[in-house]
Chains A and B, each alone.
Chain A
Amino acid sequence: NAGVTQTPKFRILKIGQSMTLQCTQDMNHNYMYWYRQDPGMGLKLIYYSVGAGITDKGEVPNGYNVSRSTTEDFPLRLELAAPSQTSVYFCASTTTRGGGEDTQYFGPGTRLTVL
């Protein structure tokens, strides 16, 4: 049981490039989330999904896209990377709405730099 895995761990992009951050969980969780965390700040929700085929915007969705074709995978797509997207990206999952024992399990994060 690997929990939540994210790839890559680190990435440097040039302005205007695109990339996909991968997130996979093996706990059969319905709910999955993408957050970004800027230096010294809390986590901001980008997108979330309550199940395969269902996604919704969070607090800061502009410049990102997601898809959820399977329960296990929730990739985050960055189109036309900008320096403002330099951040650490965390993927998380939970079985229900994130309450109680069904806590959110976080992946190790992807550190992205856009130059």
Chain B
Amino acid sequence: QKEVEQNSGPLSVPEGAIASLNCTYSDRGSQSFFWYRQYSGKSPELIMFIYSNGDKEDGRFTAQLNKASQYVSLLIRDSQPSDSATYLCAVIGAAGNKLTFGGGTRVLVKP
């Protein structure tokens, strides 16, 4: 079982719709959870981080964490063509000294 799993996609959404991305993790002691966006040929950039169960909103992005079920999700509201990218879920495990990345979900927003 992979430590951090994501559906590779592509997730195709029409412009203006909500994109919903999911991520599951295996280390029950994981502490911190991150969503990165990566455009083709570029380095990852942080969108959101979340520590506590529940929702965290930042602009058009909402991260949701459920530690009991070991999943974290990202919602992108009012999706724009500029949101087309690969979204990487990353987790800091119980050891607390390194990030483990999922394989990423490719999102395509169609005008």
Residues of A near any B CB (own CB < 8 A): 31, 33, 35, 40-45, 48, 50, 58-59, 90, 97-100, 103-104, 106-109
Decide if the interface of chain A is mainly helix, strand, loop or mixed.
loop
Q: A97-B97, A99-B32, A103-B34 are in contact. Are A42 and B103 (CB under 8 A)?
A: yes
Contact of B98 among A33, A100, A107, A108 (CB under 8 A): A33
Give me the interface of B with A, judged by CB distance under 8 Å: 4, 6, 8, 31-32, 34, 42-46, 49, 51, 88, 92, 96-104
| Closest chain A residue to B31, Cβ basis | A99
18 contacts between A and B (CB under 8 A): A41-B103, A42-B88, A42-B102, A42-B104, A43-B44, A45-B100, A59-B100, A98-B92, A98-B98, A99-B49, A103-B34, A103-B46, A103-B49, A104-B99, A106-B43, A108-B42, A108-B43, A109-B42
